[in-house]
């Protein structure tokens, strides 16, 4: 016996020596890697199956680096602390890699995130482990690769690391709350996406997309309830866990769900809500994927983001409902200046983003407030209405995480109050009465085709839809919500609402200003960058803060309206994070590029921000433009500095038109694709580039088509006319000039065609083009090209563009001399070229062939 102990001790010493020879001389290697390798070796893994220490296994950092490795070339990779292969012979082959252990990352969260990245680079690895302690009883994060390619996150003891010959899979066990692991946002969203795809493909019990979403939502709610219960009793096994078989798991989960439905009757209101209708295998798969995750403390924004997978893009676009990015929610709530006593309503609460952020805002204001006290505040101060059943369930789930204001989130139609008695009788209670709420904050559905009928507006008393003749017309639902929000507010209450900016500048919506008179006064308008909703639509929106006026009170014309014009909101249109770039190195930093939140924080703190402007309320209303970009001083600072530095006077395009120095007209129209079969060029807005019109050989129309669009035998254009797009183009503010001989073309209607009435005077076409091409002038077009529905539109605001007024003809000639020389030379060259071709085309072709041949000979030499 003593001999055996001695031999074992000798073997251990030799093993430690062999391990020590392979290790790096660092504390991490000595204190964590060494005992972990020792443990693996005692479990039966040979050192020949492991790569660690000085040699280190490297995992490709990207697919391109993975390809390099496959071709036997050097590649950039992540070093792994311990890599275990299925045999010593397969130790250098990534296809034989079984599992990896990561010890470098200081926290579990960072370790899990790193392992997720490793799984991408090593498609054959079955298990990833984060462990910073080699003690058998210590726990670590285990990520298993599922057969379908998904990932399953579990907390396991070091003693649970597989032995040689064992299947690498998570064992079924009685998991407690302490065993649950909070996944990264990316991993959680990936898991939800995978589950949704699995349900769609594999479950035959439910085939309708909407019902599949609803059932998966029910399971997620049950999982959250399980986490909530387990958190209060950390020693008992969690309810939401796998059992010994799919049938047993499904049976137990269904039984628990029935009790859960009885606990929350306001959430589960329909017969379809009463039971789980997925098949056994689907329920078991969902439980296996979610059971090891800790969601209740994961964080509101993470859960909210992942839950959007349940509201597919197609489904939400159909309803005009778009996921409000967290950056917009956070900025909007900060602008509202919430107080403890506020009673807050979101009448289109969706998944509860604004309501949850309101709870968090109050929590930030009172950091010492107990969790129970915050929950009590939410129960009496937070209210939401949502028409969509799934959206309401998700809102309640997220509210549970945030502090639980879910009791007063109910289902209903916020705008058609005349149907409440029949369809939503609970909304007729005093809880939802008009004039009760001090804050209403919302992002209502919007879209030109989403309208409330005139009859519904009449029956519900929504006079915003009333025409001058006293009739009611169909009206966009966003504007109907504007009226309902005003109804719900008490006098002096604040409304924060996301609306398309079209409503507040377009001639088609001027009636809104008349309706708002005596009802709502704007206090601040914040630009929401296009990227916020561009993944769903091109509707340009702003966040408007209004205050409800007391009855009989008149507008204070000298009161200031603030406009904030941030240009980023921390995301790209794809939804990915946007980060600032170091101006010195050009490299991306880790700092989020969120000018929206920065501008709001500055405004709330009484500090200026880039692009911020203030305007007297009376002047803003008179202009009938409530759009931040229009008032952004950055668009006109450049021209003002230029004029000052050169001692010049300003003059607007409108003034030049009024004085008769310029004329302006539009284009002809847009022939259909089937009409483009002739020889006369058709010019689109995209053909205006680099001061010239591009002739696209695929866009040529016949003379008969051209005459139809011209309205006669001539285009009405003249040489030296200057053209620019006026709507539906990113080229607005770019100009082109027509040369002699280019007049007979068809031009799309969506352009300005400017003509100088004094071609050899001060405002010659060349001076006009020089002035319009100045960067400080072009910058102004960003101010006046606003989003009409989903297309850029200048309207009559182009008349406000400021140009440098030349002191005399000599100065104008001197400034534009290069423009005149370039374009007249180009015109002469073009004329000579055409004459040469017309006089003897054969000689021209022969000479051209000779030039080509000479060029080829030169290249060969």
Query: What's the pLDDT tens digit per position in 135-158?
Result: 877 888 999 988 777 888 888 888
Q: What is the pLDDT of residues 491-515, one digit of tens each?
A: 999 999 999 999 999 999 999 999 9
The pLDDT, as a whole number, for residue 138 is: 84
Q: Judge whether residue 57 has pLDDT over 50.
A: yes
| Residues 266 and 221 sit within 8 Å (Cβ to Cβ) | no
What Cα–Cα distance (Å) separates residue 415 from each residue in 386, 451, 494, 617?
11, 11, 19, 29
Query: 25 pLDDT band (50/70/90 cuts)?
Result: confident
Q: Judge whether residue 860 has pLDDT over 60.
A: no
| Residues 570 and 592 sit within 8 Å (Cβ to Cβ) | yes
CATH fold of 313-631 = Rossmann fold (3.40.50)
Q: What is the pLDDT of residues 391-439, one digit of tens each?
A: 787 787 777 666 566 668 888 999 999 999 999 999 999 999 999 999 9
| Residues 59 and 77 sit within 8 Å (Cβ to Cβ) | yes
How crowded is the C-beta side of 718, counted as CA atoms within 13 Å? 11
Q: Which of 242-256, 406-420, 843-857 has the highest mean pLDDT?
A: 406-420
Decide if domain 646-837 falls under CATH 3.40.50.300: no
Q: Judge whether residue 162 has pLDDT over 90.
A: no
Higher pLDDT: 305 or 778? It is 778
Give this prediction's pTM. 0.74
The pLDDT, as a whole number, for residue 309 is: 57
Which residue matches tokens 């709870």? 359
What secondary structure letter does DSSP report for 172?
P
The pLDDT, as a whole number, for residue 216 is: 84
What secondary structure letter does DSSP report for 446?
-
Between vectors from CA 306 to CA 305 and to CA 311, what angle results, nearest 5°?
90
Q: What is the pLDDT of residues 337-350, one digit of tens each?
A: 999 999 999 999 88
Lowest mean pLDDT among 106-110, 541-545, 548-552, 856-860: 856-860
| Residues 752 and 724 sit within 8 Å (Cβ to Cβ) | yes
What's the whole-number mean pLDDT along residues 60-71? 89
Measured CA to CA, the distance from residue 619 to residue 561 in angstroms comes to: 10
Torsion, CA 593, CA 596, CA 601, CA 605, rounded to 10:
120
Q: Which residues on adjacent β-strands are paired with residue 410?
A: 385
Q: Judge whether residue 312 has pLDDT over 50.
A: no
What secondary structure letter does DSSP report for 633?
T
What's the whole-number mean pLDDT along residues 641-666? 96
First to last CA, the chain: 91
The pLDDT, as a whole number, for residue 641 is: 96
- Which residues, other chains included, contact 791 with Cβ-Cβ below 8 Å and sequence gap of 6+? 538, 727, 728
Measured CA to CA, the distance from residue 239 to residue 252 in angstroms comes to: 9
Q: Judge residue 230's burial from the number of C-beta atoms within 10 Å of its C-beta, 0-12 exposed, 13-18 middle, 19 or more buried.
A: buried
The pLDDT, as a whole number, for residue 436 is: 96
Lowest mean pLDDT among 161-165, 298-302, 359-363, 715-719: 298-302
Q: Judge whether residue 315 has pLDDT over 50.
A: no
Measured CA to CA, the distance from residue 785 to residue 795 in angstroms comes to: 8
| Residues 294 and 177 sit within 8 Å (Cβ to Cβ) | yes
> 604: closest CA among 360, 367, 333?
333
The pLDDT, as a whole number, for residue 317 is: 40
Measured CA to CA, the distance from residue 617 to residue 600 in angstroms comes to: 20
Q: What is the pLDDT of residues 612-645, one digit of tens each?
A: 999 999 999 999 999 999 999 999 999 999 999 9
The pLDDT, as a whole number, for residue 145 is: 87
Question: CATH topology of 313-631 equal to that of 646-837?
Answer: no
What's the whole-number mean pLDDT along residues 732-747? 93
Q: Judge whether residue 316 has pLDDT over 50.
A: no
The pLDDT, as a whole number, for residue 748 is: 93
What's the whole-number mean pLDDT along residues 289-306? 72
The pLDDT, as a whole number, for residue 842 is: 64
State what percent of residues in the chain have pLDDT above 70: 91
What Cα–Cα distance (Å) separates residue 637 from each residue in 223, 316, 602, 634, 640?
56, 41, 21, 5, 5
Q: What is the pLDDT of residues 177-213, one digit of tens each?
A: 888 888 877 788 788 878 878 877 777 787 777 778 7
> 161: closest CA among 135, 183, 187?
135
Extended strands (E) in 72-126 = 77-85, 97-102
Which residue matches tokens 């606003």? 786
Query: What count of other Cβ atoms lies within 10 Å of the Cβ of residue 650?
Result: 14
> 678: closest CA among 597, 746, 756, 768?
746
What's the whole-number mean pLDDT along residues 758-779? 94
Lowest mean pLDDT among 47-61, 295-309, 531-545, 651-665: 295-309
| Residues 131 and 106 sit within 8 Å (Cβ to Cβ) | no
What's the whole-number mean pLDDT along residues 565-584? 85
Q: Judge whether residue 296 has pLDDT over 50.
A: yes
What's the whole-number mean pLDDT along residues 266-281? 81
State what percent of residues in the chain have pLDDT above 90: 47
In sequence order, which ranges of 660-740 are alpha helices (DSSP H)?
Answer: 703-710
Q: What is the pLDDT of residues 788-818, one digit of tens each?
A: 877 888 989 999 999 999 999 999 999 999 9
The pLDDT, as a whole number, for residue 202 is: 77
> 159: closest CA among 128, 125, 134?
134
Considering the chain, what is the average pLDDT of its residues?
86
The pLDDT, as a whole number, for residue 631 is: 96
Spans of all domains in the chain:
13-171, 188-298, 313-631, 646-837
Here the tokens at position 335 are: 């602008």
Coil, helix or strand for 679?
Answer: coil
What's the whole-number mean pLDDT along residues 828-834? 84
The pLDDT, as a whole number, for residue 754 is: 97
- Which residues, other chains included, contact 312 with Cβ-Cβ below 8 Å and sequence gap of 6+? 209, 213
What Cα–Cα distance (Å) separates residue 485 from each residue in 437, 444, 482, 547?
9, 10, 5, 11
The pLDDT, as a whole number, for residue 235 is: 79
Measured CA to CA, the distance from residue 111 to residue 32 in angstroms comes to: 14
Report the sign of the C-alpha dihedral through residues 80, 86, 87, 91, in that order: negative
Measured CA to CA, the distance from residue 391 to residue 201 in angstroms comes to: 23
> 160: closest CA among 97, 83, 101?
101
Which residue matches tokens 């209303």? 621
What's the whole-number mean pLDDT along residues 30-50? 91
Q: What is the CA radius of gyration of the chain?
A: 34
What Cα–Cα distance (Å) separates residue 818 from each residue in 35, 82, 764, 805, 827?
78, 69, 13, 18, 14
H or E segment and range at residue 441: strand 437-442
């Amino acid at each position: 016996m003593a001999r055996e102990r001695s031999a074992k001790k000798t073997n251990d010493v030799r093993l430690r020596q062999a391990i020590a020879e392979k290790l790096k001389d660092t504390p991490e290697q000595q204190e964590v890697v060494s005992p972990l390798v020792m443990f693996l070796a005692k479990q039966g893994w040979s050192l020949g199956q492991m790569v660690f220490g000085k040699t280190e296994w490297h995992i490709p950092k990207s697919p391109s680096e993975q390809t390099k490795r496959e071709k036997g070339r050097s590649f950039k990779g992540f070093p792994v602390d311990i890599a275990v292969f299925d045999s010593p012979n397969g130790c250098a082959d990534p296809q034989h890699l079984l599992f990896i252990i990561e010890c470098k990352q200081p926290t579990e969260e960072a370790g899990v995130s790193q392992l997720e990245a490793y799984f991408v680079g090593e498609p054959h690895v079955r298990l990833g482990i984060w462990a910073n302690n080699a003690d058998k009883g210590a726990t670590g994060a285990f990520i298993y690769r599922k057969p379908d390619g998904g990932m399953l996150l579990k907390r396991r003891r070091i003693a649970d690391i597989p032995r040689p010959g064992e299947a690498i899979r998570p064992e079924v066990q009685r998991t407690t709350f302490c065993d649950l692991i909070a996944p990264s946002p990316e991993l959680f969203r990936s898991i939800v996406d995978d589950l949704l795809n699995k349900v769609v493909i594999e479950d035959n019990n439910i085939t309708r997309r909407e019902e599949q979403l609803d059932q998966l939502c029910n399971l997620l709610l049950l999982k959250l309830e399980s986490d909530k219960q387990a958190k209060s009793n950390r020693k008992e096994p969690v309810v939401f866990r796998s059992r010994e078989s799919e049938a047993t798991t499904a049976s137990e989960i269904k039984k628990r769900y029935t009790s859960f439905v009885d606990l929350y009757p306001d959430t589960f209101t329909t017969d379809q809500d009463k039971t789980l209708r997925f098949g056994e295998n689907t329920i078991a798969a969902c439980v296996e994927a979610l059971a090891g995750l800790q969601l209740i403390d994961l964080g509101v924004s993470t859960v909210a983001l992942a839950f959007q997978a349940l509201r597919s893009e197609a489904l939400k676009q159909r309803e005009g409902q778009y996921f409000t990015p967290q950056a917009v929610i956070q900025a909007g709530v900060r602008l509202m200046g919430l107080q403890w006593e506020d009673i807050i309503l979101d009448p289109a609460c969706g998944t509860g983003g604004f309501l949850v952020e309101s709870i968090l805002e109050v929590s930030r204001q009172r950091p010492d407030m107990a969790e129970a006290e915050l929950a009590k505040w939410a129960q009496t101060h937070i209210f939401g209405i949502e028409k969509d059943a799934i959206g309401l369930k998700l809102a309640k789930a997220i509210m549970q995480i945030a502090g639980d204001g879910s009791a007063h989130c109910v289902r209903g139609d916020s705008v058609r109050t005349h149907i409440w008695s029949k369809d939503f009788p609970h909304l007729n209670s005093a809880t939802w009465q008009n004039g009760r709420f001090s804050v209403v904050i919302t992002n209502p559905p919007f879209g030109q085709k989403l309208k409330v009928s005139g009859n519904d507006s009449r029956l519900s008393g929504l006079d915003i839809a009333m025409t001058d003749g006293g009739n009611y017309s169909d009206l966009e639902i966003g504007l109907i919500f504007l009226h309902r929000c005003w109804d719900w507010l008490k006098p002096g209450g604040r409304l924060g609402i996301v609306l398309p900016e079209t409503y507040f500048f377009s001639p088609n919506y001027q009636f809104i200003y008349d309706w708002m008179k005596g009802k709502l006064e704007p206090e601040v308008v914040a630009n929401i960058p296009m990227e916020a909703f561009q993944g769903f639509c091109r509707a340009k929106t702003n966040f408007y803060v209004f205050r409800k006026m007391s009855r009989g009170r008149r507008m204070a014309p000298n009161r200031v309206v603030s406009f904030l014009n941030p240009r980023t909101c921390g995301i790209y249109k794809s939804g990915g994070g946007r980060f600032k770039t170091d101006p010195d190195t050009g490299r991306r930093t880790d700092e989020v590029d969120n000018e929206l939140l920065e501008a709001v924080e500055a405004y709330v703190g009484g500090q200026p921000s880039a692009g911020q402007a203030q305007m007297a309320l009376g002047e803003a209303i008179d202009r009938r433009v409530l759009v931040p970009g229009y008032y952004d001083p950055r668009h006109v600072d450049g021209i003002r500095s230029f004029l000052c530095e050169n001692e010049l006077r300003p003059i607007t395009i409108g003034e030049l038109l009024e004085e008769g120095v310029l004329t302006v007209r539009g284009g002809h129209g847009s022939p259909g694709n089937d009409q483009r079969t002739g020889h006369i060029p058709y010019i689109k807005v995209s053909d205006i580039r680099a001061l010239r019109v591009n002739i696209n050989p695929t866009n040529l129309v016949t003379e008969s088509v051209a005459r139809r669009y011209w309205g006669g035998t001539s285009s009405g254009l003249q040489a030296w006319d200057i053209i620019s797009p006026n709507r539906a183009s990113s080229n607005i503010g770019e100009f082109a000039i027509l040369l002699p001989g280019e007049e007979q073309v068809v031009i799309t209607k969506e352009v300005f065609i400017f003509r100088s009435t004094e071609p050899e005077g001060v405002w010659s076409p060349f001076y006009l083009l020089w002035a319009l091409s100045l960067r400080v002038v072009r910058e102004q077009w960003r101010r006046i090209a606003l989003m009409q529905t989903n297309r850029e539109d200048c309207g009559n605001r182009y008349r406000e563009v400021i140009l440098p007024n030349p002191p005399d003809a000599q100065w104008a000639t001197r400034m534009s001399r290069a423009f005149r020389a370039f374009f007249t030379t180009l015109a002469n060259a073009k004329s000579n070229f055409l004459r040469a071709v017309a006089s003897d085309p054969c000689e021209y072709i022969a000479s051209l062939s000779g030039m080509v041949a000479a060029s080829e000979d030169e290249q060969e030499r």
